[in-house]
């Protein structure tokens, strides 16, 4: 099994190893995006409620102005009986306040026909929602001559305010297209969302750079462990200049463990051959039960061994190892 690096990932054999800082960055970005978009959506809902409230106040104000204009034009009409001119004057007076697409102001009779209709984009000849109109008539008959109104036309929803004008016998209505009105807030939402993504991207780049710097010794430890696994040899990890933190402590602990294992292996090699020691290290086990093999055995006697033992003392072990090393080569 060998260690290698491929792009963002490191590999041990066929297993991809994702850097720790990568997981931290991805988790951080995920929670950052969720938090920001959730906050943005909550702000959208709260601001939309405030916008609706302000729009309703504006609609009521403009409806009152239209009502005053309608009352004045009724007096004019009562004097000159010029209906078309009064209708034209009512529509022209309402148009300046209709700044949005599908904004409208109109006066509707009980039969659904218009006294006048003003809109920058729409061209209606009669009121399309008879259910809403019948509701207005019922409210008027019950004594309610003004209030909020909601109606539908062509699959679109409209909201606004109405006020009954007794002289003309019409319901004066000032209304807005709900979808068009809310589209502005959605546009703001997506613009803010785009800014959040840009800021998150910048934060991501800075976070990767910062975390790679902070976790550079994690990469060093990981790389060193992969090299040891590939070479099947234990060694110490170089930690010069490492900060005094838990990652450095982890590396130092590994170095201490590695040193202990190397010392044990050195002791073990004094009692077995290099091949046996290497095989035991790679196979992670020592088979003491023995194996059946064909062997060549050489019996030798070292001349003057007793005298050399008395003379050399403990150094006789070195002499024996030297003898075994040369003798085994000829077997």
- Shared domain check, 173 and 46: yes
- The pLDDT of residue 59: 92
DSSP 3-state of 171: strand
Asked if residue 133 is part of any domain, the answer here is yes
Residue 142: CATH number of its domain:
3.30.450.20
Asked if residue 21 is part of any domain, the answer here is no
End-to-end CA distance of the chain: 35
Using the 3D structure, point to which of 159, 186, 213 is the last residue of a domain.
186
Domain that holds residue 322: 294-331
With a cut of 60, say whether residue 8 has pLDDT above it.
no
Residues 285-296 have a mean pLDDT of 71
d(CA 265, CA 312): 27
The pTM of this model reads 0.51
Q: Quick one: CA dihedral 154, 146, 171, 68, positive or negative?
A: negative
With a cut of 90, say whether residue 118 has pLDDT above it.
yes
pLDDT tens digits, residue range 187-245?
777 777 788 878 888 887 887 787 777 777 777 777 787 777 777 777 888 887 777 77
Asked if residue 124 is part of any domain, the answer here is yes
Residues 100-118 have a mean pLDDT of 94
- Shared domain check, 36 and 179: yes
Q: 288 phi and psi, to 5 degrees?
A: -95, -10
Asked if residue 215 is part of any domain, the answer here is no
With a cut of 60, say whether residue 10 has pLDDT above it.
no
Quote the Cα angle for 284-289-294, to 5°.
105
Asked if residue 244 is part of any domain, the answer here is no
Using the 3D structure, point to which of 161, 186, 211 is the last residue of a domain.
186
If pLDDT is split at 50, 70 and 90, which confidence band does 314 have?
A: confident
Question: Is pLDDT larger for residue 181 or for residue 174?
Answer: 174
Average pLDDT of every residue of the chain: 82
Asked if residue 250 is part of any domain, the answer here is no
If pLDDT is split at 50, 70 and 90, which confidence band does 46 have?
A: low
If pLDDT is split at 50, 70 and 90, which confidence band does 313 have?
A: confident
- Shared domain check, 34 and 170: yes
- The pLDDT of residue 71: 95
d(CA 47, CA 43): 6
Asked if residue 228 is part of any domain, the answer here is no
Asked if residue 97 is part of any domain, the answer here is yes
d(CA 175, CA 133): 14
- The pLDDT of residue 3: 46
Residues belonging to the chain: 331
Using the 3D structure, point to which of 145, 167, 186 is the last residue of a domain.
186
Strand partners, 113: 126
Nearby residues of 308 by Cβ (< 8 Å), 6 or more positions away = 302, 316, 319
* Domains contained in the chain, number: 2
Q: Do residues 237 and 255 make contact, with C-beta atoms less than 8 angstroms apart?
A: yes
Q: Do residues 41 and 189 make contact, with C-beta atoms less than 8 angstroms apart?
A: yes
């Amino acid at each position: 099994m060998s260690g290698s690096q491929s792009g963002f990932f490191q590999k041990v054999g066929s297993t991809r190893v994702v850097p720790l800082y990568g997981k931290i960055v991805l988790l951080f970005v995920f929670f950052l995006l969720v938090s920001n978009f959730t906050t943005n959506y909550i702000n959208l809902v709260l601001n939309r409620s405030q916008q609706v409230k302000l729009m309703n106040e504006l609609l009521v104000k403009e409806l009152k102005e239209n009502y005053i204009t309608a009352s004045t034009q009724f007096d004019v009409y009562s004097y000159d009986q010029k209906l078309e001119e009064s209708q034209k004057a009512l529509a022209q007076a309402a148009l300046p306040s209709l700044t949005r697409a599908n904004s409208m102001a109109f006066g509707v009779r009980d039969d659904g026909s218009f006294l006048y209709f003003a809109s920058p984009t729409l061209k209606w000849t009669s009121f399309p929602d008879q259910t809403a109109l019948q509701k207005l008539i019922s409210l008027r008959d019950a004594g309610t001559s003004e209030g909020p109104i909601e109606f539908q036309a062509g699959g679109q929803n409209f909201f606004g305010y109405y006020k009954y004008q007794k002289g003309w016998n019409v319901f004066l209505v000032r209304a807005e297209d709900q979808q068009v009105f809310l589209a502005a807030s959605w546009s703001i939402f997506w613009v803010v969302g785009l800014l959040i993504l840009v800021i998150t991207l910048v934060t991501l780049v800075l976070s990767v750079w910062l975390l790679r710097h902070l976790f550079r010794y994690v990469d060093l430890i990981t790389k060193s462990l992969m090299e040891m696994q590939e070479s099947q040899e234990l060694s110490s990890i170089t930690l010069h200049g490492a900060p005094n933190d838990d990652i450095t402590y982890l590396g130092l602990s590994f170095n201490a463990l590695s040193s202990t294992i190397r010392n044990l292996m050195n002791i073990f090699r004094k009692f077995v051959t290099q091949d046996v020691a290497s095989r035991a290290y790679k196979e992670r086990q020592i088979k003491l039960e023995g194996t059946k093999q064909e062997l060549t055995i050489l019996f030798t006697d070292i001349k003057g061994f007793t005298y050399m033992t008395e003379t050399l003392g403990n150094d006789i072990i070195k002499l024996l190892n030297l003898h075994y090393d040369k003798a085994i080569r000829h077997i």
